[in-house]
Structure 1
Amino acid sequence: MEFKDPALQRLIDQVRSAHKPLDIQGGGTKRFYGEIPHGDVLDIRPLAGISSYEPSELVVTVRAGTLLAELEATLASKGQCLPFEPPRFGPASTVGGMVAAGLSGPSRASVGGVRDYVLGTTILNGQGEVLSFGGQVIKNVAGYDVSRVMAGSLGVLGVICEVSLKVLPTAPATATLAFALDEAAALQQLSTWASQALPINASAWYHGQLHLRLAGAQAAVQAACTKLGGSLVEPEVAVSWWDSVRDQQHAFFHLDSSHLAKGESLWRLSVPATTPPLELPGSSVIEWGGAQRWLRSHAPAKQIRAAAVTAGGHATLFRGEAPRSAVFTPLSAPLMRIQQSLKQAFDPKGLFNPGRLYPSL
């Protein structure tokens, strides 16, 4: 079957004629994430554009090569947004890369993650077939939710060609409060606030200061500001702060070649929000009400993973020069069999991003 869309047909032809691995690429802003990519480049950037957008239905359908900045600008013009604040890591970030990486920003704990907003996808499988899953409304999703499996799969299952996303109205009011608290006190305070009816949208602790973002109706935000106290951060300064955390432009996240050469790495730890300080060497940024802990450390991978597992969570090597097989926490045998079955079903020849998620996929 021939497609009238030349960009899609080019991808199909390249997949069908491939005899060795393909490295799926968009803007390249997340190439550092996961195992080291390799193979012939499969460039999805020409597959760009917003296919349909129904502001009244809170649904947008976008092709994978579309710039994330373009999508966000279009939504903003209608007073809407991607509430999970996907990290952009640079102006070249694409919608396909956003879904494939499955990363969410500061508001993740209050609104959900990327996969919670994926309604449907069109993908290209390893046999060069175009397949569609899900739809444009949640009620159309039935059975095994393949669309949401694509979120965070790092391209190992197939090439995301198009995605339908649920969007939300931008909050009518926001405010950011700052509190001088050490790590233990900040975690305790976040735990206390979590049990209260407060319009908390995001939190981030670093170096003795906790930032708390409120979002919602004007009256609710104002009432929360009065109740919580703290120091009100100027709106422009607050936007800059949250963007620096979302896109990892804050100084904490800057690891250049000299840091990496000395064995320093950036780890992302997912633990229960009520977990006390982990007592690991290095410096930390704490997000998501305590559930996400960024750690910049020289500590060995074994020590960091052990601390995360003991707390009931897991650790991911986000940036660093540790053995690349240590990027993601190894899966249990049953979960790995499921992953391998999915890989076999969608990409039987093992063409797409081999080893990017796990060495055996």
Structure 2
Amino acid sequence: MSTVTTYRPSTLADLRDAMAESARAGERLAVAGAGTAVEWGGAPEHDAVLDTTAMSGLISYNPTDMTVAVQAGMPLRSLQETLAGNAQWVALDPALAAAGATVGGLVATADAGPVRHTFGASRDSVIGVTVVLADATVARSGGHVIKNVAGYDLAKLFHGSLGTLGVLAEVVLRLHPRPSATATLAVPCHAAAAFDLGGRLIHGSLEPVAVEWCGRVLLARFDGTAGGVEDRGRRAMALAGDGAEWLPGDDERAAAHWAAVADLVRGAEGDTVVRLGTAPDRTPSLAALVAREAAAHDVDAAMTSSPFAGAHTVRLRGGTASQHAAVVTALRAAAPAATVCRWTPGLRDQLPAWGEPPPAVAVLRAVKRAFDPNDRLGKGRFAPWF
């Protein structure tokens, strides 16, 4: 019976040594963090696991410069708690911290939540990284200063790489001040109306931090000073019209709305969860496609979208693996690079981990060959693309 070796480094030197030992043994290696994204994409073929969770330390924190450096295995929740003492935060959604995700895992999966509307994805908070490559080379990119730099941007290259190019060891992040007040506008509406109203909120200079359409409700979150949030609330309610609710940050209904977004994105046992991107103005047509395909294949479907970032999540529930496969296939026709993040039992036998490769697949393969010529890291995560 075969056994799987597990490496648990706690320092950069440990990680380098583990990678060197794994290379000498010719082991296929799967990189693991907290396990919150273990099902994303293809299932890796591996002889050994590199567990980064012991690399969870705070390296340096400069509140004045608003930067922090951490080991990649640090849970986002722990980091946010540390930063809260100086009224600062990494601009990533609270739901990601609640789920237990690590900082390195968020970069490796390119994960983000509704505040991507203002702050971008996880890579937009990263200003420097240290990585260990397949041959145990230690490479650094960026630093502690927020500025544009010349050279190869490893942070962006590793963003969404799912552990196939190397292992993130350390991450330097930019910080933002925590708002003193927050509130949520909630408006029941269909996708087309949500896209229209969301556009008016944005172009009306109301500066919502997040705009999300989930469960037939448009949610717009506003952060700032108490007076500023109250003023924008009056203007937003006037734009939204009948049926709109203004929910202060301490209102349980506001928390429930955002929790529903997080629950849909995570899914539950037996669900299929798919993430995909489109042009922002295709949100209404995508919602119609999801509803049509779910009805045709007798599957319950729910969708949440950050429409002005073109980022969407679809959760499928009920029915068989074959029925889920039919809906996912239809979604891939609209967005070939759709990522399956949770697989209902039997679904992996029904369809490949990824759809048609993107036009830049030749570049992706070339980068993979350059960083991991022996295809040891995360083999199978991006199959059949490479």
Q: TM-score range by the shorter chain?
A: 0.7 to 0.9
Provide the C-alpha distance between the structure 1 equivalents of 2:116 and 2:68, rounded to a whole number of angstroms.
Answer: 20
User: Could you tell me which of 7, 14, 17 is aligned with 1:7?
Assistant: 14
Q: Does 1:242 align with 2:258?
A: yes
2:3 alignment counterpart: none
Tell me the CA shift for residue 45 of structure 1. 1.8
RMSD: 2.6
Provide the C-alpha distance between the structure 1 equivalents of 2:375 and 2:163, rounded to a whole number of angstroms.
Answer: 11
Does the 8 A contact of 2:206 with 2:236 survive in 1?
Answer: no
1:319 alignment counterpart: 342
Alpha-carbon spacing, 1:308–1:356, altered in 2? closer, same or farther (3 Å): closer
Deviations 1:235-264 (A, max 9, x none): 34223532442xx325x853423xx5xxxx
Does the 8 A contact of 2:354 with 2:384 survive in 1?
Answer: no
Does the 8 A contact of 2:201 with 2:207 survive in 1?
Answer: no
Does the 8 A contact of 1:24 with 1:41 survive in 2?
Answer: yes
Deviations 1:142-188 (A, max 9, x none): 13312221111111100111111111111232111211222322222
Counting matched residue pairs gives: 345
Alpha-carbon spacing, 1:86–1:348, altered in 2? closer, same or farther (3 Å): farther
1:300 alignment counterpart: 327
Provide the C-alpha distance between the structure 1 equivalents of 2:147 and 2:245, rounded to a whole number of angstroms.
Answer: 43
2:116 alignment counterpart: 108
Alpha-carbon spacing, 1:144–1:54, altered in 2? closer, same or farther (3 Å): same
Does the 8 A contact of 2:70 with 2:171 survive in 1?
Answer: yes
Does the 8 A contact of 2:165 with 2:371 survive in 1?
Answer: yes
Does the 8 A contact of 1:135 with 1:141 survive in 2?
Answer: no
Which stretch shows the higher mean deviation, 297-306 or 319-328? Answer: 319-328
Deviations 1:8-41 (A, max 9, x none): 3542443333312101111112101121123111
Provide the C-alpha distance between the structure 2 equivalents of 1:38 and 1:216, rounded to a whole number of angstroms.
Answer: 47
Provide the C-alpha distance between the structure 1 equivalents of 2:62 and 2:16, rounded to a whole number of angstroms.
Answer: 27
Provide the C-alpha distance between the structure 1 equivalents of 2:160 and 2:213, rounded to a whole number of angstroms.
Answer: 26
Question: Can you give the 5+ residue segments of structure 1 that lack an aligned partner in the other structure?
Answer: none
2:216 alignment counterpart: 208
Q: Does 1:143 align with 2:151?
A: yes
Q: Does 1:68 align with 2:55?
A: no
Does the 8 A contact of 1:86 with 1:114 survive in 2?
Answer: no
Does the 8 A contact of 2:130 with 2:171 survive in 1?
Answer: yes
Provide the C-alpha distance between the structure 1 equivalents of 2:59 and 2:79, rounded to a whole number of angstroms.
Answer: 11
2:34 alignment counterpart: 27
Provide the C-alpha distance between the structure 1 equivalents of 2:256 and 2:58, rounded to a whole number of angstroms.
Answer: 28
1:119 alignment counterpart: 127
Q: Does 1:266 align with 2:273?
A: yes
Secondary structure in structure 2 of the residue aligned to 1:213 = strand
1:353 alignment counterpart: 378
Does the 8 A contact of 1:174 with 1:221 survive in 2?
Answer: yes
Q: Does 1:233 align with 2:247?
A: yes
2:168 alignment counterpart: 160
Deviations 1:322-356 (A, max 9, x none): 447644443345x2221122112221221111121
2:356 alignment counterpart: 330
Does the 8 A contact of 2:186 with 2:247 survive in 1?
Answer: yes
Alpha-carbon spacing, 1:272–1:346, altered in 2? closer, same or farther (3 Å): same
Alpha-carbon spacing, 1:16–1:318, altered in 2? closer, same or farther (3 Å): closer
1:286 alignment counterpart: 304
Secondary structure in structure 1 of the residue aligned to 2:70 = strand
Relative to the length of structure 1, the TM-score reads 0.86
Alpha-carbon spacing, 1:357–1:16, altered in 2? closer, same or farther (3 Å): same
Secondary structure in structure 2 of the residue aligned to 1:215 = strand
Letter in 2 for 1:354: K
Does the 8 A contact of 2:134 with 2:166 survive in 1?
Answer: yes
1:341 alignment counterpart: 366
Tell me the CA shift for residue 84 of structure 1. 3.0
Relative to the length of structure 2, the TM-score reads 0.81
Provide the C-alpha distance between the structure 2 equivalents of 1:223 and 1:327, rounded to a whole number of angstroms.
Answer: 47
Provide the C-alpha distance between the structure 1 equivalents of 2:159 and 2:204, rounded to a whole number of angstroms.
Answer: 31
Provide the C-alpha distance between the structure 2 equivalents of 1:4 and 1:172, rounded to a whole number of angstroms.
Answer: 37
